[in-house]
Amino acid sequence: MGGSPTLNPAASPAERTRALTAHAFGLGFDAVGVAALGVPETWDAYAAWLEAGRHASMQYLEGDGARLRHDSRLPHPGATHAIVVAASYGGREPSGPVARYARGDDYHEVLRERLRELHRWLETSLGRAVNARPYVDSSPILERDLAQRAGLGWFGKNTMLITPSAGSFLFVASLFVELELEASAPFEADRCGTCTRCLDACPTGALPAPRQLDASRCISYLTIEHREAIPVELRESFGGLLYGCDICNDVCPWNKRFARDAMLPAFAPRDLFADTSSNEGTRALAREILMMTAADYAEAFRGSAMKRAKLWMLQRNACVVLGNVGTADDLAVLEAMGEHEHPIVAEHAAWARHSITRDR
């Protein structure tokens, strides 16, 4: 990139860190810091969370997944430091049935490529190979712990990382490197104060206390990770939410003031979500998903993070949405879903039909 900072191969760790940080900001990241790898500060809290079963059915967080998370030096042998970055994904966009982070292209590969670019610059500047690997929300790492240690922000009462100048509508990613760098000062302050808006706003009670998340009640977990029926007693609380949930971020004063536009055009909402900020648009999206074939699904969500949920799961979620915000005009498609090959979808369609007709 034109005007990028240069790095003397003989630079000290502090000089390397300043040049790396400047180059990372030049790549468009909203926040950058460096953390030494090791045992996470939040390990005890994480272990207690697992012990309490608050991770619901996410068994990949246990066993070997937990063992690797216990020491961030384990996932990539030889690495000594993490260059931790944050990237805005569009917190100023209107709320809607799909969480903002999932409306654009899959952030995993988009951000990996940015980190690979940082890696290439580092090797070119030093004139030698550097053992490094990018991590973007797909490996056994307590990434928010690393981000706090790298000085990017603090843990909000909704468990999200909040960056003072950019809020919490952020992707967090890291480049693990085998290179001596100067670690950033950890972010020690808690700037939530007495505010409890995120806890008060959660419609399912998934935040029973500050910085405690019960995944089994979280709309994001239930619409994305959960492979069973959505608990009947929680369905009405979903409202028009089809994939993920931004409520605890939406109400945060730090986002109301500091949320930014998306860092990259790739994070902009796809056409499928262009008109979903109203109930009418939400209903239209839900019906479209219910009518999708496997081929339609593959085409619509190619290169999208939403493929984390299988088609039948999105159709299950769409039934709940129509049960909450649908009208008599949606009964026909729900009637057709009553014959769905997946019994969970058929049951949710029946629930939605009953919900609509009950309210007429």
Q: Which residues does the annotation mark as catalytic?
A: 137
The residue type at 239: G
- Identity of the amino acid at 339: E
Report H helices in 153-218.
197-201
CA separation for the pair 281, 43 (Å, rounded): 42
DSSP string of 206-260, one letter each residue: --SBTTB--GGG-HHHHHHT--SPPPHHHHGGGTT--B---HHHHT-HHHHHH--
CB 288 within 8 A of CB 282: no
- A 10 A CB-CB count for 218 gives 25
* C-alpha pair distances (Å), 63 with each of 60, 135, 144, 214: 7, 20, 20, 20
CA dist list (Å): 162 to 4, 20, 144, 175, 340: 28, 23, 10, 20, 42
Locate all alpha helices (DSSP H) within 236-330, ordered by sequence. 247-250, 253-258, 279-290, 294-300, 311-325
Q: Which two tokens stand for residue 289?
A: 């998903």
Beta carbons of 101 and 54 less than 8 angstroms apart = no
